[in-house]
Amino acid sequence: QVELQESGPGLVKPSETLSLTCTVSGGSINDYYWNWIRQTPGKGLEWIGYIYYSGSFRYNPSLKSRVTMSVDTSKNQFSLRLDSVSAADTALYYCARGFDGSGNYARLTFDYWGQGTLVTVSS
Amino acid sequence: DIQMTQSPSSLSASVGDRVTITCRPSQSIATYLNWYQQKPGKAPNLLIHAASNLQSGVPSRFSGRGSGTDFTLTISGLQVEDFATYYCQQSYSSPHTFGGGTKVEIK
């Protein structure tokens, strides 16, 4: 059974960098797309982006200038870095596995999710 | 971005009822539509992918249909454990976007 677990600080100061790691267990990180998704009461579920096991990536244009994702296949982990955070980035952050039902177009369905980690941006 | 509009935003139903939730994307997405169930304090759980394919382990009372710009999720014979919030998500194009959710409450 594949399991994902987010880890990282729950409190980040405004203008600083949010850093989260997702550890994948029970399955290989290879051959899937690894995603970050966040949820707020106001904006609902927002896809942040993915990193493929090979290192290729795609980010949501709304966050693209501030997002960096990375993957460490040797540790079965992938990470999110979000720069210059503000209160608007306060959210429940999920990592999720994505599979591509279309073959090669990164048309992703999210079949396994972490439990989520709440990140609050506040001084 | 493709906007996903779900309706209703909430509904009240009784155990045993048949419930239908609608999702309408702002442009055609073929059948690249997924449905998730989320219970309080939990992550979303995949129910249906590619509009009508039941995810492994999901009860057969859940069904999905549609294509293009009109999709539905139906729960045939609502059970206590089905009271939750349901989301649609398009996987046709990036950025992947979600509907605003439909909260199914006990009448």
CA-based nearest residue to B59, from B42, B80, B90: B80
In this complex, is the C-beta atom of B31 within 8 Å of any C-beta atom belonging to chain A? Answer: no
pLDDT in tens, A16-55: 999 999 999 999 999 899 999 999 999 999 999 999 999 9
Q: How far apart are CA A99 and CA A35, in angstroms?
A: 10
CA-based nearest residue to A71, from A51, A90, A93: A51
Share of chain B above pLDDT 90, in %: 98
Set of chain A residues whose Cβ sits within 8 Å of the Cβ of B44 = 45, 94, 110, 113
* Whether the predicted pLDDT of A102 surpasses 90: no
Give me the total of CB pairs closer than 8 Å, taking one residue from chain A and one from chain B: 57
Q: What is the per-residue pLDDT for B69?
A: 98
Torsion-angle region of residue A117: left (phi > 0), alpha (psi -120 to 50) or beta?
Answer: beta
- Give the DSSP letter of residue A103: S
Question: Is the pLDDT higher at A24 or at A106?
Answer: A24
Beta-carbon separation of A109 and B34 below 8 A: yes
* Whether the predicted pLDDT of A62 surpasses 80: yes
Beta-carbon separation of B45 and A101 below 8 A: no
Note whether B87 and B34 are within 8 A (CB).
no
Q: What is the per-residue pLDDT for B20?
A: 98
Q: How far apart are CA A38 and CA A14, in angstroms?
A: 18
- DSSP state string for A29-97: STTSEEEEEEEETTTEEEEEEEEETTS-EEE-TTTGGGEEEEEETTTTEEEEEE-S--GGG-EEEEEEE
Strand partners, B46: B36
Q: How far apart are CA A93 and CA A75, in angstroms?
A: 21
> If you average pLDDT over residues B28-39, what whole number do you get?
97
